[in-house]
Chain A
Amino acid sequence: MLGRGTRYLRDVVAGAAEAARVEALRALELLDTPPEERFDRVTRVASAYFDVPIALVSLIDADRHWAKSCIGVANREFALSTSFCLFAVVADAPLLVEDATADPRFAAFATVVDDPHIRFYAGVPVHTRKGLAVGTLCIADSRPRKLDDRDVGVLRDLARIVEDELERSDLAHALNARRESEEHVRAVMDHVAEGIITFGDDGVIRSANPAAVRAFGALTGGLVGRQIATLLEGATWEGVRRWLPEQLGHRGLVTGRRVDGTTFPLELVVTEAQVGGERVLIGIGQDVTQRLEAQAALRESEQRFHAVFDGAALGMIVIDRDATIVDANPAMGEMLGLAVDELCGSPVRGLIDPGTDLTLFQELFSGKRETYKREQRLVRSDGRDVWVAATVSATHDADGRPLNAVAMVEDITDRKEVERLKDEFVSVVGHELRTPLTSIRGSLGLLDGGVAGDLGDEAREMVRMALANTNRLVRLVQDTLDLERLQAGAGQVELQTVRLPPLVEAAVGVVERLAVEAGVEIRADVEDLEVLADPDRIVQALTNLLGNAIKFSPQGGTIHVGARPEGAEAEVFVADEGRGIPAEHLDSIFERFRQVDASDRREKGGTGLGLAIVREIVKGCGGRIWAESDPGAGATFRFTLPLAAQAVTIAVCDRREEVRDALAARLGAMGLRALPVGGADALAGIAVRERVAAVVLMLGPATAALVGALEEHEATATIPKVLLERPDEHGLLSALEGVPELRSGRVLVVEDDQDLGRLLVRGIERRGFDVELARTGREAREAIERAAPGLVVLDLGLPGEDGFAVVDWLRRTDRLAAAPLLVYSGRTIRAEDRERLQLGQTEFLDKATDEPEDVERRVAELLGRMAGVGR
């Protein structure tokens, strides 16, 4: 019995979940809301009228029974398995139970067995507007009862009242929804950029949104009631009405007419709709003045671009990321012997060598670079080669992403040919020109020497002249080749640590005879400095400078040649007492064939290449050269060479000669030894021979390729690469900050006064140097033996061995000749003391007048300006 009842109940419970019913119930939005008087009033009446303790307005959800209003029970929520109402709802019919204990469907219900011990139940289904049963109005009692027909009628009527209330809730919701939707529409209408106007079959405007009102220049509402035709230039309603049917739904451009009579281009679409049985026409339009202007500007700009593109002498070509040619100009076509149409759509690969590396091109599209330049051989349609210099840049879309590559292409075939001819010419000069010169020079020499028989006086004079000019021609050939080689760089200058005085002596020896013949005296005053240079080339440079000085010296004049330390460099000078050089020529005299006076070349027998060669030599050694002059009071040529002790070589690697020279000069001026080199191979040649502390690369299109090439060479792979964004001193300083060699300058402080010693150490350390402190002469010697310092600060009065003894030892053991010595003592230095303490570059500071800060500053200055700047 129980089992059957349970199964039956399960089916009924399942019936509660019927989807449409549940949806309708939930749409009422009454579930789980607080009690409401309008429903409580009904249950109160029912309870009183039927004299029952329990009355409910029940709602049957999919999985529970919930009472919107209840009298006589504490809970508002019940399980469906104890719900009488469920049966009424699922059956959609009134349920009358006189005695639940007698009904097998309900006898086992907890509400029957336990509290509230229901015996009597009567429930009438309540429906939504659409007739779906969602709950009941029910009454119950713990005593068995009977209801007659009239009672059931009353219960039904009360249920109708509940249904009315349900409907009221439903309508309120619907109304709300509609209001919201209308607000949406209004919001859209108010804020949309398009003007929207509705008008009737009579052409009278019914409504206009703010955008429309603005567009036509009317005050808010000012369009309603107007004739639509008045808003269209030159239109009548009759015309508009005839025009409308074929235009409906089509976007078109017309001329709008503002309220003030001015006109504007109006893009308009008209549609129709039925509203309340009346046909309404809806015009949606926009003032397109700006858009048309923008389009016109774009068109004009495109036309201008195409005029340039088509008319340019430079070839221009647009390439997409797949390396397909998108566009090309006529100049490009002409360069390749192809029509523009033939170029477009074809792959770039077809124009270039198959093995060409496209890395740079691809980097344009990966965003790694914006532009690059390259010299490239292209193949013309007729099979001939054409050399081009291409500047390739990325173009971008509106979001800044790389779109295409645009190449500006210059035909440099002629230039390449000239370069080739020049190389060939140089080689011709090297051999072919010298061969006949050898015969000529030899023949004239033999004639002049009387070997080929006696000559008459006039003939001898002619032969002399020919010989002198042949010699000049031989020198010119020699100098030209020399200059070409020096400018080509790589391997022409062999650097080594070398003492300067023997080089000066050698050069003086070469020109001695010339000087004697010219009646000129040469006085040399050379400090014994050790430099890093190519000795043969420096002798050549000095010989050239001395030769010049002799040529321009007056008879009886004196030439001074000397060298002295200047920071981290040796400065070598050759000064004459000749007529001097006008200020405007001081720079240009180092260029080829740039004598101050063109007649000098003939008169003085020079080739016009000597100073250019000297400059190349000095540059190759990492130095600088310049000329000074007071016209009338002689000229002085000065050049610098890095002192061997402090030489830290910084290479400047750039394909462009003017760039690398400028950077090297700037580094030189900062007290560094800078070597300009033209490429990775040249640097590798140098790096094999000497230590290069860093290589400076100017950031540019070729940097990546250059770094790659440097990484490939064993000799250059480990050299720190310093990428430079700005070529000024500040940029260089910050770029070079990370180079270890530039920071290390070891200083030995010899001072027995502990406090002063510590003060000096701290101060010098602050300036970026490593400092060691020695308190006695013996400690000083030990420290120097361990590692030679770059500079010594020396007190004289020391316990045991004094400062003099330390210097004596240094001299005896030939140490620290090139390292500056700073004597810092309180003792009076006599002339003979000065002589005894002189060791290479020696300076004297007095404890009585010079502060420790003065010592620190001088140390920084002496060890190169690098350490002083930027800290």
Chain B
Amino acid sequence: VEDVLNAGIDVMSTVNVQHLESLNDQVAELSGIRVRETIPDRILARADEIVLIDLTPEALLERLRAGKIYPPNRIDAALNNFFRIENLAALREVALRQVAEEVEQKRLTTVEPLGSREELVAAEAQQAVGERLLALVEPYPGAQRLVRRAWRSAQRLGADIDLLWIRPPGAKLSDDQRRSLTALKQLASTLGAHFLVEESDTIPEAIADVARRQRTTYVLMGRSRPTRGLGRLRTPLPQRLMELLPGVDVRIVADRARRSNGDRG
């Protein structure tokens, strides 16, 4: 598609929703079948217009049985695998949602472009790379909330998500920490996030290295622990990250306990 577009030729094509890369995990979960042939979402995002060809699962099955989709020798296998009515209903829902999101995205971004050509090119290049979130976690129960917030943000941005724990070298974990770490890894795996562990004493630099490596565009972190002594003289972690990672957003997720107290006050 890209080659044809680059040659100055318009492309009109059809695509099945299960082939979209970002929906791969979701489609696998809903249908029980992992689709191997996927296309990057940016291809769909480049489309000037998306038209949904909607069909009820029953009508689609009728077409299949009539031999309008596969040759007769493949019909039974298709009916017993991918073309089950619950799969088709779930995929139909995914397709409707996807198109609705695309339409909304187009509506929100249809504004007069501002800035120089270089700025526009840079902005477009960044968008093409895609958003990627990095959530900084530690093995304690409160970290799960941070992961949930990061997951929600990632969903809204259509972004991938990494969880990072900077482990102090030689640190021994308590039983509670071990349990929390296992739970965090399990949560990351279920969400489709990547759980990364880096051993380092220099936390900001280690985070910045990972962020650069992962092409992070967004860092989420919880409230820092109160510092004492000479630690007070150090630049706080969020500011340090902003210095080390220009162009990367840093977001601090509110502490629930403090927020509740504030509400009451």
A binds B: no
